[in-house]
Chains A and B, each alone.
Chain A
Amino acid sequence: AIRMTQSPSSFSASTGDRVTLTCRASQGISSYLAWYQQKPGKAPEVLIYGASTLQSGVPSRFSGSGSGTDFNFTISCLQSEDFATYYCQQYYSYPRTFGQGTKVEIK
């Protein structure tokens, strides 16, 4: 199975900050990577697919980059509604696997 490793596991940031999360795959997955946002008590929602394509309706402050094994997810200007947990997921092969998540908390 392809292992997805996210870093950091959590961190604190302030509204207006630029934040970058990383996700590393244990083997190459081309661009078959999605980023999800999950708020407490809610189901995850996809923000980015194909490593860098913004899902329709998602604000442009979110962006993704990378291919192969190393990926980044950036929020250019953190808003209050962005405090949540973010997961990367590979859909290159089965079993589908998720990173362990990065929790973005208010500083």
Chain B
Amino acid sequence: ETGVTQSPTHLIKTRGQQVTLRCSSQSGHNTVSWYQQALGQGPQFIFQYYREEENGRGNFPPRFSGLQFPNYSSELNVNALELDDSALYLCASSSRTDPMAPLHFGNGTRLTVT
């Protein structure tokens, strides 16, 4: 069983730039969600994708957007980066056929905005 993998592991960007983070879901999982974990905080839900469509969103502005592909992998895109976007971005996958199952998280991408 292949777990959730994220790339890259670390990234440094300049304020105003755009960034794309990638996630491959665990085999057998069809739903992907993204979380932002700022330093010293708990993860905050950004959004979730199922069947290649966004089907839930947290309190994040539209410059945070995403995609899900037919193989269930996903991208998180952030435009017009701000210093406060510096955080660990976590991807989690799950199966819609088992709604009570826990989420499986990747190791995250550490984004630093300077």
Partners in one complex: no
